[in-house]
Amino acid sequence: MKELPELARDADDAVRLVSGLLRRGETGEAFRERVRTESWSATESGLLAPALSVESGTAVRIRREGRLLLVARSGAGPEALRDAVREAGRLAGNAPFFKAHRTTGAAPGGRDAERPEEEESRSAALAAALARAFPDPRGVTAALQLSRVVTERTVVTPRAFLPCGARTRLVATGTIRRAGAERPFSFQSARPFAEAADALALALREAIRPVPALPPQPGPVDVVFSPSAASVFWHEVVGHSLEADGGERGSVLSRVKGAAVAPPGLDVHDDPGRADLPGAYGVDDEGSLARAVPLLAGGVVTGLLSDRRSGAVETNGHGRTASFRRPPRARMSNLVANAGSATLDELVARCGDGILVKEVATGSADPESGRFVLFVAAAEAIRRGRRNAPLAPFALGGEILSALGAIEEVWGNEVLPATGLSVCVKGGDAVPVGGAAAALLVRGLFARTARR
Amino acid sequence: MTPASDDGLFERVLEAGSTDGCGAELYERRGRLLELTEDETGTSLLESGERGLALRLFKGGRSAFAASGLAHAFSLPDQARARLPRARTRRGVRLPAPAAGEALEPRPIGDPPAPNVDLARTLLTGFRQALTSSGRGSVAVREASVSLGERTERLATSSGRDTAWGSRLATLVATVVGRSTGGRFSARVVGAAPRPEELPVARLARHAADRVLLPLQGRPFEAARADVLLDPLVAAHLVGRLAPLFFGDDEEVLLAARTRDGRDALASPLLSVVDDATVSGGLVRGVRDGEGTPQGRTRLVERGLPSGRLTDSAAASRLSRPLSGNAIRVAWSDAPRIGVTNFFVDPSPGVSPLDLLGSVSRGLYAAVLLERPDVDLAADRFRIVVAGYAVEKGRATERVSEAAVSGRLSEFLRGVSGIGDDLKFAIGGTGSIGSPTLLVPRWKLG
């Protein structure tokens, strides 16, 4: 008989426990998570020290009239669930129903299911990727942490046991120095391990290229975003502004719902169902079915990403959490924009004088004031409608409504996945996200130096 | 503290790890956290308990790490042992030994007590009241949360170290929104203290009000060059970015380049930098580090000249320096690495900040950071974007909505001509970072 996964061994009892906990007027669920992280410290000369951590946890959440109670415990077995239910019941003033019939959880001493030879082959693949990335490590100093993270999640509602599946990511963070300049390095891929390792090698090779010396002149500038950079633009400008955790009127965009803010024909939606992108899931972390939500339809503000706590707005399957210890919040998954009709070269020609932004390293937005900043990692100048010299990293700022209003009515004809968008940190909570977009021309953004 | 319910598990895992000639170090952490959050939707209460074990095995200059919760604790020795051959041999990597005279009796730990929710509620109410007063009705709380945490830790090695200790931390995190005729502006502020009753609630409320009102009510600073007075919390975030220079032997080459092999100073003779796990006002109250080494005070920069290093046992061995107790475990599931406890500029030669202000003829008082400081240690460059006040003849004249201070970091640090006696700490790095007010005359802006 096939062994049940660790998180699902007591499925029937778990559902009974959760339904017995909740009183009239309350909603809630239990959430189980198991995270297995194989990691390696590494330098430009190869892998140094391997490490493994396996962390599992259980949370029980009870909601009533805008209040949330969350009790979290280490361990994803029946005991942890019973302990969390007992404590949640005590804190909520309930009398939880306890009649566990079968307990088949893993006893202390359980072994990890992963096979050692598979891990060994992954170590070899990573070592090879590093060798390809740094064929001649002279003059380069890298301090990296490489991790393969496997996350399994399950939500137990009063009616059902909902496995959210397992997600595997290759994550790399650290710093790279070359020619007297240091740059942070961050990479994440949800692709199969071999492909992810190849992509990591490419990203590292890109990161050690010499940095151009000249940033753009500070001041207003017209900008063509590559498809990858456009995904980060949409993420900061539209995505964060339409996450419901700021309230229905908490951002410059949610305050103008129904208004046309961008060119007609422009659609942006959040789609957790895009399995090829890192932010995909089928059931959110509150047990709601994931749904695609249109945020801009024909340039008009139409939607809001919501979770179970979003006040007057019903959940649309965007309750996401960074860990079982944190409460879910309304968060983006994969932000996808539609294709237009122009090629990238046509947009560059249309721009005249300006900047072609190829990659954005990171960004931030204040949905309340509408200000946003994008830190550009790779860009080229545009002179008289032609691509020109590479530019040093710089920052690009703007105001959300003005920037949306300044998007040219013609945009790129090819929608491509973002390469620089993988994790979004908000309020200290990091969740995997993705994006796919076409190239864009936005007039009148504001360039400034990032450091010098 | 409740007694441990599974006596013997810790000892059995340690014993299983220390076979085959391996040196074994086993670490256990138990923690409780209570977080009360109030936002526009309502209230949330989080109560969290954690327990995890981490094993490091050492053999022939190699080490491997494995960590798990209770359910997989007995597999840790096998997991670590399987990884040991894949580790690279590195000089100095060996099992930390107990200090001479260290007590060796086994010390089981229990779960810390549950934090007090009423205390968290009182702190949130206090913050709201202080913000109403500081913001004069123009600032609202969008979300505020108080976290009260406590943990107990135990570390034992096959070489005889067996020690246990505990610590606490309280934090207040708030997202506030400022509104004026000029628009809206929101910001997230964080305050922390080793004990809840020490949380600087009123100071955090003033800081939060400045953080959102200055950008709305001020004007951009126009001068190209001016005296720059950095508020302690602004200075702390800049000085804190120097910390990696002192992480063991990681940055010996860079440090030598910055100081021309010790011929130049790293900073002004007024600046001495210290890491001290026990300093008054520091957010960390450390007893032992993640290798069980007793923590203390390490002088890193003495009157502008580099003098010390932060070490774990491997770096201390390679550098032939004493252990500083800076092997930090950020989480039980992370291997220890070198980090700061309370890393700060020593304020002992400082004067009153009002005296520093009085010495400014035309300048900028940088009261709050608007963005995370951008610092490149390798390129010796920095840029901070701040809001604050314009200063003329020792008096604040008008609010400044935004100003950028940037340039060569070593020149900036060597240019410090005055320091205050008002040391303050903020959360930063793996612990806390601190500074008093710093004055740098005639610095270029923009």
Q: What is the pLDDT of residues B298-321, one digit of tens each?
A: 999 999 999 999 999 999 999 999
Question: Is there a single domain that holds both residue A280 and residue A394?
Answer: yes
Q: With 60 as the cut, is the pLDDT of residue B2 above it? A: no
**Domain boundary, last residue among A187, A207, A227:** A207
Question: Is there a single domain that holds both residue A174 and residue A115?
Answer: yes
Furthest-apart CA atoms within chain A: distance in Å? 76
pLDDT of residue B165: 92
Interface contact A70-B45, CB threshold 8 A: yes
Question: Is there a single domain that holds both residue A151 and residue A255?
Answer: no
pLDDT of residue A5: 65
Locate A268 and state its tokens. 């942006």
Q: With 50 as the cut, is the pLDDT of residue B80 above it? A: yes
Count Cβ atoms within 10 A of the Cβ of residue B3 and give its class: 0-12 exposed, 13-18 middle, 19 or more buried. exposed
The domain total for chain A is: 2
The CATH number covering residue A74 comes to 3.30.2290.10
Question: Is there a single domain that holds both residue A187 and residue A276?
Answer: no
Question: Is there a single domain that holds both residue A41 and residue A72?
Answer: yes
- Closest CA of chain B from A249, distance in Å: 11
Question: Is there a single domain that holds both residue A178 and residue A299?
Answer: no
Question: Is there a single domain that holds both residue A56 and residue A196?
Answer: yes
Cα–Cα dist B43/B34, whole Å? 13
Cα–Cα dist B155/A216, whole Å? 53
* Cα first-last separation, chain A: 64
Residue with tokens 């409460």: A327
B11, B38, B41: best to mutate for the A interface, most A CBs within 10 A: B41
pLDDT of residue A316: 94
Confidence of residue A101 (pLDDT cuts 50, 70, 90): very low
Helix/strand/coil percentages in chain A, nearest 5:
20, 40, 40
Q: With 50 as the cut, is the pLDDT of residue A102 above it? A: no
pLDDT of residue A191: 84
* Cα first-last separation, chain B: 54
A212 within a domain of the structure (yes/no): no
Range name among A222-226, A292-296, A358-362, B343-347 with the lowest pLDDT average: A358-362
Question: Is there a single domain that holds both residue A202 and residue A227?
Answer: no
Locate A167 and state its tokens. 């997600």
Question: Is there a single domain that holds both residue A177 and residue A36?
Answer: yes
Residue-range definition of the domain harbouring residue A44: 6-207
B86, B189, B372, B408: best to mutate for the A interface, most A CBs within 10 A: B86
**Domain boundary, last residue among A174, A207, A240:** A207
Contact B288, B163 (CB under 8 A): yes
pLDDT of residue A103: 42
Q: With 90 as the cut, is the pLDDT of residue A420 above it? A: no
B47, B90, B214: best to mutate for the A interface, most A CBs within 10 A: B47
A269 within a domain of the structure (yes/no): yes
Cα–Cα dist B84/A253, whole Å? 54
Per CATH, domain B9-217 is 3.40.50.740: no
Phi-psi region of B20 (alpha: psi -120 to 50; beta: other; left: phi over 0): left
Q: Read off the pTM.
A: 0.90
Question: Is there a single domain that holds both residue A118 and residue A192?
Answer: yes
3-class DSSP state of B146: strand
Cα–Cα dist A341/A281, whole Å? 31
pLDDT tens for residues B196-231?
A: 999 999 999 999 999 999 999 999 998 889 999 999
A214 within a domain of the structure (yes/no): no
Which A-chain residues 208-237 have CB contacts (< 8 A) with chain B?
none
Cα–Cα dist A247/B39, whole Å? 9
Question: Is there a single domain that holds both residue A101 and residue A182?
Answer: yes
Mean pLDDT of B45-67: 95
Mean pLDDT of B55-69: 95
A307-330 burial code (b ≥16 CB/10 A, e <16): bbbbeebebbbbbbbbbbbbbbbb
pLDDT tens for residues B409-429?
A: 999 999 999 999 999 999 998
Cα–Cα dist A279/A188, whole Å? 11
**Domain boundary, last residue among A207, A228, A246:** A207
Nearest CA in chain A to B56: A51
Question: Is there a single domain that holds both residue A173 and residue A233?
Answer: no
Nearest residue, CB atoms, A74 vs list B50, B62, B74: B50
More confident residue, A250 or B51: B51
pLDDT tens for residues A366-395?
A: 888 899 999 998 899 999 999 999 998 899
Q: With 60 as the cut, is the pLDDT of residue A110 above it? A: no
Domain ranges of chain B: 9-217, 225-444
